[in-house]
C-alpha cells in the first residue's frame, strides 16, 4: 500500500445525542449514568421547564431539612460533566414539540416526574381553605408557579389544621406549620413565606390516617422529627396503637413498622401543655365530607377498621373535627405531556424496563425514568437505580441497532431553540441565579434565600450577563 492509499486514523465513533426531559434527581441520575458508561460516547442535553435544576430536591424536600436538601450539591457534580448541558426555561409542548425534540437527537428520556396531586373525591373538597399538599409545598419552597394568594389567604386564619395522609409529605406539612419563627428563620424559604408562617395563628394540627399505624408510609426519621418541635406537643391515642394479630405479625417482620410503633408508643402518654401547639396523629379515620359554606370550617371523619389484607372500611361511626385549613396529601400522579402516552389510572407512561410503549409496542428512541416511569415511590436515591436500568435498556437498543448514534438532526438544540424565540437558561445562567440566592440570604445571615418569582430568577441571569459584557 502506498502512502497515498493510507486511509489514516479511523474516525472517532459518532456520539449518542440524548435529550433528558426533567432536571430533577431522576433526570440528573440518568445523565450521570450515561456519562459514566464507557461503551458509547454521549452528549446529553438536560432540559427543564424551570430555569433551575434539581426538581423536587429544590421544590419538594421541606426547607427545614438542610441535610436532605444538600443532596443538590451531589447532584451538581453531574451537571458539571463536560458531556452534559443544562437547558432550563424550556417547556416541551410550548417551546419544542416532542416530535421536533426526537428529530433533533438520537434518543429522549422523559424524567419529568409526577407533580399532580390526587384528590379525596368527597363533598366540600373545593371549598376555600382546602388545599393540596402540592400547593402548600410549592409555596413554602419558593416554586415560581406557586399560588401565593390562595395559600396565604388560607393560612391567615388557620388555627386548626387537618392534614389528610400519613406519608412523609404529610408529616413535612404538619411539622412546618407547627414550627416557631425561630426554627424556620435559618432556612432558605422566601422571606414572604417566613413572614406568613410567623403570622399564621396555628394552634392545632391533626394528621389523619384512614388505616392504622402499621400501614402508615412515613419513615421513622420523619416521624421522630415531630417530637423535636420547640413549642408543640405530639399526641397519639393509645387505643390506635392496639394491634390485631395481622398487624402484630407485620410489626414483627418489618423493622420500619416496628421502629415507628416504638416512637408512637413513646408519645401515647402525652397530654397537651398550656401555651403550646399540638400535633395529633389520628389513625383509623377517613374524611367523608368537608364542612362549611363560604370556606372550610370542619371535617366529618368516619372511624374505620382494617382487614387482614390492609384494606380499610367504614364503621358508620362519625365525628366532626374543627378545621380552618385542610391539606390533602394522598399521593401524586404524572401529568400528560403532548404526544406522549399516559396511563390515566397509574399516572405513569406505559413502559417496559424504561422503553416507552405505544400501543403496547416499544417506541424506538423513547424512554422514561423516575416517577413518570414507576409512580411516586421510594426516596431520592431510588431514582439512581431506576435511571441505571433505563440507561442499560437504551444502551442495549444502541447495541441492537434500534438507536443509532449520529442519527439525530445536525443542528445544535440550543441554537435551534433560540431561533424560535425561546430563551434557554444554561449552566452559567443557573450559577448566576445560585449566586443571587446566596447573596440575598447573606443579607439576613442565612446560607441562602430562594428566589421565587419567574421575573426575579430571569433578572438574575440578565444582570450577570450584563456585568460580563
Residue 3: pLDDT over 60: no
Same domain flag for 213 and 260: yes
Same domain flag for 111 and 123: no
Residue 4: per-residue pLDDT: 55
- 446-456 pLDDT per residue, tens: 999 999 999 99
Residue 396: per-residue pLDDT: 97
Q: Residue 61 and residue 452: Cα distance in Å, rounded?
A: 16
What's the mean per-residue pLDDT of the chain? 93
Same domain flag for 98 and 154: no
Same domain flag for 191 and 264: yes
Instruction: Read off the pLDDT band of 338 (50, 70, 90).
Output: confident
pTM of the model as a whole: 0.93
Residue 412: per-residue pLDDT: 85
Percent of the chain exceeding pLDDT 70 equals: 96
Q: Tell me if 435 is assigned to some domain.
A: no
Residue 381: per-residue pLDDT: 80
Residue 252: per-residue pLDDT: 92
Mean pLDDT computed over 59-86: 88
Boundary-marking domain end, from 287, 302, 330? 330
Instruction: Read off the pLDDT band of 469 (50, 70, 90).
Output: low
Same domain flag for 265 and 388: no
Same domain flag for 350 and 314: no
Mean pLDDT computed over 60-86: 88
Residue 409: per-residue pLDDT: 59
- 300-311 pLDDT per residue, tens: 999 999 998 889
Amino acid at each position: 500500500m502506498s502512502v497515498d492509499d493510507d486511509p489514516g486514523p479511523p474516525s472517532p465513533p459518532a456520539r449518542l445525542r440524548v435529550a433528558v426531559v426533567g432536571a430533577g434527581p431522576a433526570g440528573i441520575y440518568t445523565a450521570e449514568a450515561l456519562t459514566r458508561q464507557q461503551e458509547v460516547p454521549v452528549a446529553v442535553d438536560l432540559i427543564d421547564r424551570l430555569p433551575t435544576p434539581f426538581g423536587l430536591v429544590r421544590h419538594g424536600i421541606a426547607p427545614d431539612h438542610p441535610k436532605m436538601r444538600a443532596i443538590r450539591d451531589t447532584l451538581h457534580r453531574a451537571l458539571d460533566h463536560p458531556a452534559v448541558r443544562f437547558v432550563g426555561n424550556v417547556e416541551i409542548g410550548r417551546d419544542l414539540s416532542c416530535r421536533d425534540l426526537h428529530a433533533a437527537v438520537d434518543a429522549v428520556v422523559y424524567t419529568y416526574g409526577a407533580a399532580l396531586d390526587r384528590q379525596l373525591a368527597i363533598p366540600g373538597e373545593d371549598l376555600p381553605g382546602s388545599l393540596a399538599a402540592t400547593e402548600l409545598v410549592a409555596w413554602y419552597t419558593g416554586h415560581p408557579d406557586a399560588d401565593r394568594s390562595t395559600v396565604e389567604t388560607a393560612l391567615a386564619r388557620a388555627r386548626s389544621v387537618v392534614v389528610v395522609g400519613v406519608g412523609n409529605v404529610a408529616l413535612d406539612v404538619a411539622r412546618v406549620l407547627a414550627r416557631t419563627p425561630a426554627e424556620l428563620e435559618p432556612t432558605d424559604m422566601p422571606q414572604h413565606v417566613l413572614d406568613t408562617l410567623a403570622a399564621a395563628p396555628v394552634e392545632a394540627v391533626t394528621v389523619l390516617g384512614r388505616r392504622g399505624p402499621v400501614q402508615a408510609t412515613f419513615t421513622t426519621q420523619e416521624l421522630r422529627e415531630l417530637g423535636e418541635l420547640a413549642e408543640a406537643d405530639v399526641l397519639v391515642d393509645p387505643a390506635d396503637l392496639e394491634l390485631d394479630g395481622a398487624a402484630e405479625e407485620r410489626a414483627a417482620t418489618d423493622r420500619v413498622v416496628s421502629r415507628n410503633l416504638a416512637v408512637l408508643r413513646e408519645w401515647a402518654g402525652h397530654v397537651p401543655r398550656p401555651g403550646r401547639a399540638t400535633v395529633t396523629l389520628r389513625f383509623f379515620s377517613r374524611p367523608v365530607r368537608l364542612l362549611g359554606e363560604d370556606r372550610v370550617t370542619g371535617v366529618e371523619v368516619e372511624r374505620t377498621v382494617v382487614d387482614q389484607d390492609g384494606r380499610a372500611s367504614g364503621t358508620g361511626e362519625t365525628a366532626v373535627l374543627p378545621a380552618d385549613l385542610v391539606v390533602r396529601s394522598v399521593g401524586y400522579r404524572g401529568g400528560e405531556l403532548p404526544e406522549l402516552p399516559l396511563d390515566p389510572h397509574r399516572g405513569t407512561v406505559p413502559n417496559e424496563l424504561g422503553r416507552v410503549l405505544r400501543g403496547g409496542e416499544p417506541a424506538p428512541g423513547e424512554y422514561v425514568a423516575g416517577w413518570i416511569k414507576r409512580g411516586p415511590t421510594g426516596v431520592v436515591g431510588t431514582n439512581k437505580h431506576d435511571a441505571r436500568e433505563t440507561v442499560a435498556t437504551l444502551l442495549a437498543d444502541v447495541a441492537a441497532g434500534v438507536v443509532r448514534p449520529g442519527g439525530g438532526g445536525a443542528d445544535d438544540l440550543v441554537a435551534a431553540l433560540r431561533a424560535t424565540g425561546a430563551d434557554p437558561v444554561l449552566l452559567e445562567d443557573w450559577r448566576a441565579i445560585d449566586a443571587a440566592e446566596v447573596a440575598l440570604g447573606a443579607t439576613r445571615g442565612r446560607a441562602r434565600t430562594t428566589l421565587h418569582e419567574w421575573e426575579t430568577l430571569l433578572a438574575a441571569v440578565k444582570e450577570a450577563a450584563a456585568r460580563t459584557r
